[in-house]
Amino acid sequence: MAGKTLYDKLWDAHVVRTQDDGTCLLYIDRHLVHEVTSPQAFEGLRLAGRKPWRVAANLATPDHNVPTTPPENGGRAQGITDPVARLQVETLDNNCDEFGITEFKMDDIRQGIVHVISPEQGATLPGMTLVCGDSHTSTHGALGALAHGIGTSEVEHVLATQCLIQRKSKNMLVSIDGAVGAGVTAKDIVLAVIGEIGTAGGTGYAIEFGGKGIRDLSIEGRMTVCNMAIEGGARAGMVAVDQKTIDYVKGRPYAPTDGQWEMAVAAWRELHSDDDAQFDHVVHINGADIQPQVTWGTSPEMVVPVDGRVPDPAQQDDAVKADGMRAALVYMGLEANTPINTISIDKAFIGSCTNSRIEDLRAAAVVAKGRKVADNVKLAMVVPGSGLVKAQAEKEGLDKIFIDAGFEWREPGCSMCLAMNADKLEPGERCASTSNRNFEGRQGQGGRTHLVSPAMAAAAAVAGHFVDVREIGE
Amino acid sequence: MEKFEKMTGLVAPMDRSNVDTDAIIPKQFLKSIKRSGFGPNLFDEWRYLDHGEPGIDNSVRPLNPDFVLNQPRYQGASILLARENFGCGSSREHAPWALLDYGFRVIIAPSYADIFFNNCFKNGILPIVLDAQVVDGLFQAVAANEGYALSVDLEAQTVITPDGKSIAFDVEEFRQHCLLNGLDDIGLTLQHVDDIRVYETRRKQEAPWLF
């Protein structure tokens, strides 16, 4: 019998029961909750007279709607000014209070983007099943967990039963063979992967990311890669546990302690695919071939290296794809064959669940240090992923570097990744963004998003246009 | 959940691939704490010429005459014909809520994003997967014939064209069962409370740090 993949092991350990047709009841160890996708689920519980099955499995924080403006500028100290957004956050607070769920409220230093705070607290552990009403839940797979996004009906289902009704996905391995070059980051790796497999390439699969290019990454970098598994169509992305994983978890508030720590580590060391495991699909990408990436269109698969050009739909044989490319060029206000490094930007956004961890801010600060945001850039903002990331960055003096360079230094939240709060693009504005989606209107109606790494976003902010971060140096 | 057995409905074509859930229902409408009322804002940025916000009167907003759902021939459509990877992106269940509230009970496409596909079944919407060439043929038929309607029979797993041609589709048995009977997932799962308890007891021994 063939060995098991990491996904097989995680899946098998959580099956409560299997029906004749293969549908399973899967046990969920951790459920993360935020304000946008939970109110209808809590209301459903109340209407049915149900209680959460296991209150301690849940952890909540408001992130999508919270203001990120600093307190001195009339920011979150005054509360949320948008009454609809305020009601949604208050509803989360009330629901968590009513059902006894731990919540890091807006004024708690542990508050932040749900996918940043859970690993930070050790609430995401190797070997767990973890879900959240948010597609970027795939992030947590970086720690060797099975993690994926769910809809609100399933949020209610997990609250009520601690389980989900699921069918197993197929296994895909994406291997980054060999080391990536200097200046090439986790974000460039995952954008290159999506460029290769397409936005639906992972549909129906759970993706394990492996190879030297992945093993060399920090846990934060692996989170960036797994975060965008969903942009490749895969609900779950994951990376095998190694010593880095164990070192990352140790000592965090929710991590096991004392006698349980040794027991947990012994179990976690098994969380890798067996040598003879069979994958349904394997993709190899040569690490040395990956360059810093910039998206040019309205889908994350519309991506090219920074030294490339905007592609020409006339060269695309597939008629539906060519139509999609033409529509994207119109929306983005770009001409085919334009060199990427000549495209000017209006705004830069460094943040989001993809790229707002301390390592991301350090990488951007290296580029920003001693430089100034270009005159044509109206706004360059840095939004830390959590209150604790913000505090750490301030301890290292990164805030000062950014502020001196002309960046705005903000409070933690999802911010301009999806523009549910006041941070958004105006129609026609072009943004270098470290977020995960360049969809039409994602960062504001008519806004034009180019996805890049934190270092590349900082480089674009100081140059005023896209530029290869490897050329401007430290 | 409302049960789904069979229906006949007017077909509206959404002729672009990778339609994401941000396009289906833009983020500003996600601030609602209700499940209903999203229909007037379905495809908001494509459908209207101005910028929409929650709470404004949509009936007085300028419509984009070029947008497919604004064309008189597609008024009252209940079947949406779509392209590859429909519903990609955000997990927001507001997307199927908006489609349902607008009046769509069936979507036909060559492929869907996983989370959206799953969310549809939880809300009484049937997302049918048909071969890309068949879907292409349906797009041509819809364009050529005003009032083009299809009949969908979930139990028989067939789509019937106006000329009587039957197209078979696959659907997972359990999903079909739940949709045909309008079953509540949570109620079904709670029939297995004992299994969940047994699992938890065993798991507490194996991995006590998870509890």
Alpha-carbon distance values, A276 to A3, A5, A6, A144, A206 (Å): 5, 9, 12, 19, 18
Cβ(A167)–Cβ(B172) below 8 Å: yes
The residue among A259 and A357 whose pLDDT is bigger is: A357
pLDDT exceeds 70 at position A209: yes
* DSSP sequence for A293-307: EEE-SSSTT-EEETT
The pLDDT value given to residue A258: 86
- The bridge status of strand A293-295 relative to strand A281-286 is unpaired
Residue A320: what pLDDT?
83
So what's the pLDDT on residue A219? 98
B33 vs A91: CB contact, 8 Å cut-off? Answer: yes
Residue B4 has pLDDT above 80, yes or no: yes
Cα–Cα dist A413/B194, whole Å: 40
pLDDT digits (tens, 9 = 90+) for B174-199: 999 999 999 989 999 999 999 999 99
What six digits make up the tokens of A174? 């994406």
Judged by a CB distance cut-off of 8 A, whether residue B17 touches chain A is yes
Rg (CA), chain A: 21
Return mean pLDDT, chain B. Answer: 96
Per-residue model confidence (pLDDT) at position A75? 65
Give the predicted TM-score (pTM) of the model: 0.96
User: Across-strand partners of A369?
Assistant: none
* Total CB pairs under 8 A between chain A and B: 180
Q: What is residue A77's predicted lDDT score, i.e. its pLDDT?
A: 67
The whole-number pLDDT of residue A473 equals: 66
Q: Which residues of A touch B26 (CB under 8 A)?
A: 441, 445
Decide if B149 touches A, using CB distance below 8 A: no
Query: Contacts of residue B14 in chain A, CB cutoff 8 Å?
Result: none
**What percent of chain A has a predicted confidence (pLDDT) above 70?**
99
Q: What pLDDT was estimated at residue A210? A: 98
Q: Which residue of chain B has the CA closest to A416?
A: B27
Name the percent of chain B lying above pLDDT 90. 98
pLDDT tens per residue, range B123-136: 999 999 999 999 99
Across the beta sheet with A347-350, the strand order is: A408-409, A379-382, A347-350, A430-433, A448-451
Residue B28: closest CA among chain A residues belongs to which residue?
A420
pLDDT band at A76 (very low <50, low <70, confident <90, very high): confident
Predicted confidence (pLDDT) at residue A73 exceeds the cutoff of 90? no
Residue carrying the six token digits 């969903």: A230
Of B22, B33, B200, nearest to A442 by CB-CB distance is B22
Q: What's the mean pLDDT in B78-99?
A: 97
Q: What is the mean pLDDT of residues B42-60?
A: 96
Residue of A nearest to B19 (CA): A439
Residues in A closer than 8 angstroms to B92, CB to CB, are: 36-37, 151
- Give A470 to chain B, closest Cα distance, Å: 31
**A251 neighbors A277 (Cβ within 8 angstroms):** no
Q: Min CA distance, A27 vs chain B (Å)?
A: 8
Mean pLDDT of B62-88: 98
Q: Got the DSSP string for B52-73?
A: --TTS-GGGSPB-TTSGGGSGG
Alpha carbon distance B129, B108 (integer Å): 6
pLDDT for A138-158, tens place per residue? 999 999 999 999 999 999 999
Give the 3-state secondary structure of B10-56: EEEECCCCCCEHHHHCCHHHHHCCCCCCCHHHCCHHHHECCCCCCCC
pLDDT band for position A81 (cuts 50, 70, 90): confident
Considering only CB atoms, which chain A residues are within 8 Å of B23?
439-441
pLDDT tens column, A298-349: 999 999 999 999 999 999 998 888 999 999 999 999 999 999 999 999 999 9
B45: nearest CB among A53, A234, A440: A440
Residue from the list A135, A263, A323 with its beta carbon closest to the beta carbon of B115: A135
- Specify whether the CB–CB gap between A285 and A424 falls below 8 A: no
Q: Rounded to whole angstroms, what are the CA distances from A386 to A320, A450, B2?
A: 41, 24, 41
pLDDT in tens, A83-104: 999 999 999 999 999 999 999 9
Report whether pLDDT(A474) > 80. no
Q: What pLDDT, on a 0 to 100 scale, did the predictor assign at position A319?
A: 86
Q: What is the pLDDT of residue A259?
A: 87
Confidence of residue B6 (pLDDT cuts 50, 70, 90): very high
Cross-chain Cβ contact B114/A204 below 8 Å:
yes
The predicted structure's pLDDT at residue B16: 92
Contacts of B111 in chain A (CB under 8 A): 200, 203
Q: Rounded CA gap, A340 and A456, in Å?
A: 12
pLDDT at site B211: 96
Q: How many H-runs (helices) and E-runs (strands) does chain A carry?
A: 16, 19
> Mutate which of A320, A424, A437 to disrupt the B interface (most B C-beta within 10 Å)?
A320
Give the pLDDT mean for A390-410: 98
pLDDT at A472 over 90: no
- Confidence band, pLDDT 50/70/90 cuts, at residue B67: very high
Rounded CA-CA distance B199/B20 in Å is 37
Res B2: pLDDT:
85
Give, in degrees to the nearest 5, the angle at Cα A108 between A106 and A112: 65
The answer on pLDDT for A71 being more than 80 is no
Q: pLDDT band for position A74 (50/70/90)?
A: low
Which pLDDT score, from 0 to 100, does residue B161 have?
Answer: 98
Query: pLDDT at residue A72 above 80?
Result: no
Pick the residue from chain A with its C-alpha nearest to B31.
A85
The pLDDT assigned to B207 comes to: 97
B36-50 b/e (C-beta count within 10 Å ≥ 16 → b): eebbbbbbbbbbbee
Neighboring chain B residues of A263 at a CB cutoff of 8 Å: 208-209
Which residues 27-86 in chain B show a CB within 8 A of chain A?
27-28, 30-35, 45, 51, 54-55, 83-85
ipTM over 0.90: yes
User: What DSSP designation does B159 have?
Assistant: E
According to DSSP, the β-strands at B166-168 and B158-160 are antiparallel
